[in-house]
């Protein structure tokens, strides 16, 4: 599902104009981005938690050339699903 499809789906469920839903979604994403940039955790009770974690520096080896490269540390966003989401996903058919 892309951005436009998400807005259309939300607008239908909320019985609201797409323009209002688009603004709400944009402000939500903007707020979440600011919170994560400030090293805050964002939790949605029935969905899960987003938090910033530091990936340590590591050594990578190219498989065909065996050239070693040092990958610097970086910050990444980690998502941990809630038990409610985990239970809902458990009942879905597997994609193989």
Give the pLDDT confidence of 20-76 residue by residue, as tens digits.
999 999 999 999 999 999 999 999 999 999 999 999 999 999 999 999 999 999 999
Pairing of β 68-71 and β 58-61: antiparallel
For the cut 80, the answer to whether the pLDDT of residue 96 exceeds it is: no
Q: What are the structural domains of the chain?
A: 3-90 (4.10.520.10)
Q: Give pLDDT, residue 45.
A: 92
Q: How far is it, in rounded angstroms, from Cα 59 to Cα 15?
A: 52
Question: Which pTM was predicted?
Answer: 0.77
Condensed to tens digits (0 to 9), the pLDDT of residues 41-54 reads: 999 999 999 999 99
């Amino acid at each position: 599902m892309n951005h436009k499809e998400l807005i259309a789906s939300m607008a239908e469920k909320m019985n609201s104009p797409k323009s209002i839903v688009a603004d709400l979604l944009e402000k939500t994403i903007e707020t979440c981005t600011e919170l994560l940039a400030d090293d805050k955790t964002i939790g949605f009770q029935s969905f899960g938690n987003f938090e910033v974690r530091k990936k340590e520096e590591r050594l990578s080896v190219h498989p065909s050339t065996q050239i070693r490269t040092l990958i610097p540390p970086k910050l990444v966003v980690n998502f941990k699903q809630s038990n409610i989401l985990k239970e809902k996903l458990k009942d879905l058919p597997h994609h193989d």
